[in-house]
Amino acid sequence: MRVFANADFNNVLPIERKFSCCSVRCRLGGNVIYTFHFYEPYVFSPQGAPWMSGEPMYHYLNAVPWPSSAGSRRETLAAAAARIAADHATPDSEKRAIMTTIERVLTQYFDARPDRRPVEKLDQSQRSERAAQSQISKSSS
Q: Which of 13-27, 28-42, 74-88, 110-124 has the lowest mean pLDDT?
A: 13-27
Going from N- to C-terminal start, the domains of the chain cover 1-39, 41-122
**The predicted structure's pLDDT at residue 128:** 73
**pLDDT, average across residues 38-62:** 83
- End-to-end, the C-alpha distance of the chain in Å comes to 22
The CA distances from residue 71 to 18, 64, 78, 84, 117, in Å, are 34, 8, 12, 20, 18
* pLDDT tens column, 98-134: 999 999 999 999 999 888 776 677 667 767 776 776 6
Q: Which run of H or E residues covers position 33?
A: strand 32-34
Kindly tell me the sign of the dihedral angle through the C-alpha atoms of 61, 63, 67, 72: negative
* pLDDT tens column, 61-109: 989 999 999 999 999 999 999 999 999 999 999 999 999 999 999 999 9
**The predicted structure's pLDDT at residue 3:** 56
**In this model, does residue 29 exceed pLDDT 70?**
no
**The predicted structure's pLDDT at residue 99:** 96
